[in-house]
Structure 1
Amino acid sequence: MDEAYRRAHKGWYPIELLALAGEVTSSNHETDSGPKYRGYAAAGIPVHVLIHRQDGKAYAFSDPVPGDGPATAHYATKVEVELGRPLPLPAPYPLLDTSVLLAD
């Protein structure tokens, strides 16, 4: 996809192009770790990385299970680390250095 495609489609790309979605929780932790998580799984996004500031943790979810739709979609695999520790991601991705996410 090129810049002309991006402009023509106002920044929207086919879901098939997404291999990983990353998210840092906002002030609305419930939305970030609930409906968005289920939406990514229902869409079949292979890997979802969530940096959960309130919990002080980083999560890597993989192996999406669509369920019967967004209400029941989930990920079969979850890896969790404390912020500051490296987060293992599924192949072909390298370890994610979460130490840069710690507050000074």
Structure 2
Amino acid sequence: MKAQNEYVLSKQILRSGTSIGANVEEAMAGFSKRDFIHKMSISSKEARETKYWLRLIQHSQIVDVEISSMLAQVEELIRILTSIVKTSQDSIQN
């Protein structure tokens, strides 16, 4: 059962983790500022989901992998994406 759990979690991380970059790429080609913000917001949400899956792996201890550095990287990515979204929202409100 352990291998099954590892597969499920790794699949979820792959899906949410790759979605971050895909949505950033889509945001860069956005048709409008609102489209850009929407796609960057999705990227931020996907980063948060990736953080969730990493924490789940860390706490479940079903794999022997050091997760701390990955969590630190995704935290930084969340901060960057959140800042981009907030700055972009402020620019269309002013």
Q: TM-score, normalised by structure 1?
A: 0.26
Give the structure with the higher percent strand: 1
Which structure's CA Rg is the greater one?
2
